[in-house]
Chain A
């Protein structure tokens, strides 16, 4: 397993999303946009061109009214932890995306990216987005740009970073307080912070006392496309069987 989880690291950041608590309110998705300087354009209706690091999908049980049921599924980057790097990072020809051996977070370095989109083809979760245009914050909207996250340019790929910059802030704080590790309360992604129902849980999967470690072993837990060897670090919880089945294309 050491090969799978990288050398020596006892940190694997992971997320658990309880779909039974998700109402599809979109607070997480919007908070993610605002936090990470994601671009917006006049027409965002072509969803293959629209940048949404955390996308909320609507699933249904394919039955007729009134037997019909719906379930919302927020999908950040799954930060795959499979043996041979993440599917996206192993195919990058220029090392613009790598999975950290220390945290398991899959990164993306915009100035390095050449826009070949090989990673997008490799990602089975469609969690990567290409900038088809130059992002533009017209007028005073430029004032909302956060310096904690760099802006992108046309022709590069971007994706969810588990709010890596918040981890760096938490690290700084830990250093100031003379602590060795990060206080879990200090490193909270923006989506989790926004969620009004507490559906999102985040933490270190390798810490057996963490909520994510416990919840990932729940009977309701599943991962997306678990038949693939991608080993996502995002777990979902649902008490609905059809949702769990759908996650692996079992109908």
Chain B
């Protein structure tokens, strides 16, 4: 039999006919359709039981209580607020909302690393074990032999107990070369010390204020504890009047009831102009002012230095507007003036902080309902005094001087950096990088491979968001003492440790004399030693939902301790925070006179305050020739961009509008009037030059900008981190001018003279 073509076709016809009478073709079609819906590379979320865990957010110093949504107790899929926590009461900010991306981010440091090649070379980092890392760094610290000059340290944001432990380590090593990322809190502390005798940054009883004057604060842009500020200012259905003094139409100005447009950097002068009006028109609180000291001199100072016309000229505000705001401010009780530019982290001068505090004093809003008070601290027990070295230098050393001195001469042998990114900002990153070359060993404690970690010799990876164990004290701006326990909500992903544990281990490895000051077995024990103070104080309570909301609504709430011993307190701190809303707002003035004082004389005790009266504004104005640099550059802090020690998560970068970032180009906001003069069109590339350097930006024409001023967002321009952040935009910290407050030695920055030209 021969198979012919003809018979083969018959066979095929039969087969085709037959196959159609089977399910095969129809099933295959269906299967193919389903197959096309499920490409193998599509990531499918893994299923599991939905659970949650409460902890405290560590992404900014705001200290919000949060609840992490978890799958099978292993993966965090979302962050919401903890309704019983007094700081957040169930809400979050955008940074908190993007929280899981900080835990799972691509820039996490996964094991201790040692640089074996050239600094800054990613590929030559070698993984080392914890024991070896601690041993090597500890030996370096021990070899300094207590000679503090051979060690320097930069610490991150305040407010956490791990940062306090870090300070303790540096002091125990005999060094006073400890620098913290400068913040408005530094000058607020000194202003408060001068005028109230209590050394603490400002806090505000916002819930009970009926008139809030914001002196350039980014009230809704991350200032203070952001969620708490939002909630309290909107909590009473718009009864509080908010007035924003700011050079631009900021989101805060947009949401405020009134916007006073001033020249950038003159907010404090505006405050004193208002103070002068209030004094001259006799609108001040006679009871409070009568019981204060130094008023006569302050009154003369105002009359001589801040006459209305002068203030009007300097601030660029009509005299009648100053008078009108002053009358409003003095006419509504309680009224309060807020201080702290941007997120409240931009450091400013003692003068500015005192101006704000004095204005509050005039209307009797210091230590009163709805007013300002020195931030109350929770009654934590102190760690035992260090045997050998007393905590050094009450008066701060200048970070700028320090960097310059290293660069000029020889540097310290070891530089320790804890949860900060000084190679990126905020103060003189270029100078820091230069100074780094003179330091033989750089050790960085942090969670991410940021600019500073990249240029370190040892990177000791700290637990990140949701993983770590720490304590958080009263967040910025809150009027009652708070203590939160940051407890792990997730198992740690990598070979990391809580920052506190790393510091403790370093202390133990740094020689017996140092180790003696750190008697705790582990970090948790050290935290418990502090929390013991709360148990002994028999004050306050661990918050619940009802109490938290009652306090937020301004109801007088009396709380009684709901814990008997440390174990009970510790257990409850896993659910919410300890706070004492019943603590009276009145300030126990501890000045020499025992009264509120309108002068800086009280600073003499710590070697500051060269003049008796009120300090002058910076003696050194912004440098540069106004003809060559006719504009003023003002950095803008955005709520969606975390502070300098943390790179923004992908979801946050995604939220930037297209008039803020295009591809990798950041936009600087410029008034159309200014742009017209400079012949710059919307979106044009321009060179933004200051006496300190230059950046390439695009210009965004907006009427929100004050003519003659350039606004550039901070938080971009990273050279480290992952592809979602790296090389996007420009870093204003590189071109800002860092001024030294002659009164206090502290760094201040808020702008720079600038020019803008087409490229």
User: Judging by beta carbons under 8 Å apart, are B98 and A30 in contact?
Assistant: yes
User: Judging by beta carbons under 8 Å apart, are A137 and B651 in contact?
Assistant: no
User: Judging by beta carbons under 8 Å apart, are A145 and B703 in contact?
Assistant: no
Residues of A within 8 A of B90 (CB): 193
Residues of B within 8 A of A77 (CB): none
A196 interface neighbour in B99, B230, B707, B724, Cβ under 8 Å: B230
User: Judging by beta carbons under 8 Å apart, are A58 and B657 in contact?
Assistant: yes
Residue from A72, A143, A195 having most chain B Cβ neighbours under 10 A: A143
User: Judging by beta carbons under 8 Å apart, are B662 and A45 in contact?
Assistant: yes
Residues of A within 8 A of B703 (CB): 60, 63-65, 68
* B261 interface residue (CB < 8 Å to A): yes
- Label chain A's interface by main secondary structure: loop
User: Judging by beta carbons under 8 Å apart, are A44 and B41 in contact?
Assistant: no
* B656 interface residue (CB < 8 Å to A): yes
* B88-120 contact mask (Cβ, 8 Å, vs A): 1 or 0: 101111111111110111101000000000000
* B639-661 contact mask (Cβ, 8 Å, vs A): 1 or 0: 11000000000111111111001
Residue from A66, A141, A198 having most chain B Cβ neighbours under 10 A: A66
Determine, out of A7-15, A31-39, A82-90, A209-217, the stretch whose residues face the partner at the interface: A31-39
Residues of B within 8 A of A25 (CB): 93-94, 220-221, 226, 230, 251, 639
The distance from the CB of A38 to the nearest CB of chain B, in whole angstroms, is 8
Task: With A23-B220, A70-B254 as known contacts, state yes or no: A33 contacts B98, CB within 8 Å.
Answer: yes
* A135-155 contact mask (Cβ, 8 Å, vs B): 1 or 0: 111111111111111110100
The distance from the CB of A231 to the nearest CB of chain B, in whole angstroms, is 29
Residues of B within 8 A of A174 (CB): none
* A146-185 contact mask (Cβ, 8 Å, vs B): 1 or 0: 1111110100000000000000000000000000000000
Name the residue on B nearest A71 (C-beta): B254
Residues of A within 8 A of B103 (CB): 144
* A26 interface residue (CB < 8 Å to B): yes
User: Judging by beta carbons under 8 Å apart, are A33 and B654 in contact?
Assistant: yes
User: Judging by beta carbons under 8 Å apart, are B655 and A30 in contact?
Assistant: yes
* B508 interface residue (CB < 8 Å to A): no
User: Judging by beta carbons under 8 Å apart, are A21 and B234 in contact?
Assistant: yes
The distance from the CB of B615 to the nearest CB of chain A, in whole angstroms, is 30
A140 interface neighbour in B41, B104, B251, B657, Cβ under 8 Å: B104
* A95 interface residue (CB < 8 Å to B): no
Name the residue on A nearest B34 (C-beta): A111
Task: With A25-B226, A145-B45, A197-B234 as known contacts, state yes or no: A65 contacts B97, CB within 8 Å.
Answer: no
* Chain B interface residue bracket vs A: 35 or more
Residues of A within 8 A of B99 (CB): 34
Residue from A21, A50, A150, A199 having most chain B Cβ neighbours under 10 A: A21
The distance from the CB of A193 to the nearest CB of chain B, in whole angstroms, is 5
B42 interface neighbour in A31, A134, A139, Cβ under 8 Å: A134
User: Judging by beta carbons under 8 Å apart, are B79 and A72 in contact?
Assistant: no
The distance from the CB of A209 to the nearest CB of chain B, in whole angstroms, is 20
B43 interface neighbour in A31, A145, A148, Cβ under 8 Å: A145
Task: With A40-B651, A193-B80 as known contacts, state yes or no: A66 contacts B220, CB within 8 Å.
Answer: no
* B183 interface residue (CB < 8 Å to A): no
Residue from A43, A64, A139, A144 having most chain B Cβ neighbours under 10 A: A144
* B437 interface residue (CB < 8 Å to A): no
* B75 interface residue (CB < 8 Å to A): yes
User: Judging by beta carbons under 8 Å apart, are B231 and A24 in contact?
Assistant: no
* A27 interface residue (CB < 8 Å to B): yes
Residues of A within 8 A of B493 (CB): 140
Residue from B37, B238, B254, B652 having most chain A Cβ neighbours under 10 A: B254
User: Judging by beta carbons under 8 Å apart, are B94 and A30 in contact?
Assistant: yes
- With A and B bound together, what is the CA distance between A111 and B50 in angstroms? 25
* B224-254 contact mask (Cβ, 8 Å, vs A): 1 or 0: 0011001101110010000000000101111
User: Judging by beta carbons under 8 Å apart, are B45 and A47 in contact?
Assistant: no
* B705 interface residue (CB < 8 Å to A): yes
* B706 interface residue (CB < 8 Å to A): yes
- With A and B bound together, what is the CA distance between A27 and B64 in angstroms? 14
User: Judging by beta carbons under 8 Å apart, are A44 and B654 in contact?
Assistant: yes
A194 interface neighbour in B92, B238, B255, Cβ under 8 Å: B92
The distance from the CB of B602 to the nearest CB of chain A, in whole angstroms, is 37
Residues of A within 8 A of B662 (CB): 45
The distance from the CB of B494 to the nearest CB of chain A, in whole angstroms, is 9
User: Judging by beta carbons under 8 Å apart, are B43 and A137 in contact?
Assistant: yes
A30 interface neighbour in B44, B105, B640, B704, Cβ under 8 Å: B640
Residues of A within 8 A of B704 (CB): 60, 65, 68, 70
A144 interface neighbour in B47, B104, B226, Cβ under 8 Å: B104
The distance from the CB of B393 to the nearest CB of chain A, in whole angstroms, is 38
User: Judging by beta carbons under 8 Å apart, are B654 and A145 in contact?
Assistant: no
User: Judging by beta carbons under 8 Å apart, are B654 and A141 in contact?
Assistant: no
User: Judging by beta carbons under 8 Å apart, are A194 and B655 in contact?
Assistant: no
User: Judging by beta carbons under 8 Å apart, are A40 and B42 in contact?
Assistant: no
Residues of A within 8 A of B91 (CB): 27, 193-196
* B48 interface residue (CB < 8 Å to A): yes
Residues of B within 8 A of A151 (CB): 42-45
- With A and B bound together, what is the CA distance between A93 and B178 in angstroms? 67
Residues of B within 8 A of A64 (CB): 703
* A224 interface residue (CB < 8 Å to B): no
* A190 interface residue (CB < 8 Å to B): yes
* B20 interface residue (CB < 8 Å to A): no
- With A and B bound together, what is the CA distance between A145 and B47 in angstroms? 10
- With A and B bound together, what is the CA distance between A193 and B650 in angstroms? 21
* B78 interface residue (CB < 8 Å to A): yes
Task: With A60-B703, A134-B41, A151-B44 as known contacts, state yes or no: A26 contacts B639, CB within 8 Å.
Answer: yes
* A16 interface residue (CB < 8 Å to B): no
Residues of A within 8 A of B654 (CB): 33, 40, 44, 50, 52
Residues of A within 8 A of B253 (CB): 70
Task: With A35-B78, A198-B234 as known contacts, state yes or no: A30 contacts B651, CB within 8 Å.
Answer: yes
B77 interface neighbour in A24, A71, A145, Cβ under 8 Å: A145
* B39 interface residue (CB < 8 Å to A): yes
Residues of A within 8 A of B105 (CB): 140-141
* A29 interface residue (CB < 8 Å to B): yes
Not counting A144-B75, A198-B235, a sample of 20 additional A-B residue pairs whose C-beta atoms are within 8 angstroms of each other reads: A22-B255, A23-B252, A24-B251, A25-B230, A30-B651, A31-B78, A46-B658, A56-B655, A65-B261, A65-B703, A70-B254, A140-B104, A141-B104, A143-B76, A144-B77, A144-B104, A145-B46, A146-B45, A150-B45, A193-B91
* Listed A/B pairs (25) with beta-carbon separation below 8 Å: A21-B234, A23-B230, A24-B220, A25-B221, A27-B93, A29-B655, A31-B94, A33-B98, A34-B78, A34-B101, A34-B651, A44-B654, A47-B658, A50-B654, A63-B703, A65-B673, A65-B703, A68-B249, A143-B104, A144-B76, A146-B71, A147-B71, A151-B42, A153-B37, A198-B234
Interface pairs A-B: 9 shortest CB-CB: A196-B230, A23-B220, A145-B45, A66-B261, A196-B91, A70-B254, A144-B100, A197-B234, A30-B97
A contact residues vs B (CB 8 Å cutoff): 20-27, 29-31, 33-35, 37, 40, 42-47, 50, 52, 56, 58, 60, 63-66, 68-72, 111, 134-151, 153, 190, 193-199
B contact residues vs A (CB 8 Å cutoff): 37-39, 41-48, 50, 69, 71, 75-81, 88, 90-101, 103-106, 108, 220-221, 226-227, 230-231, 233-235, 238, 249, 251-255, 259, 261, 493, 639-640, 650-658, 661-664, 671, 673, 703-707, 723-724
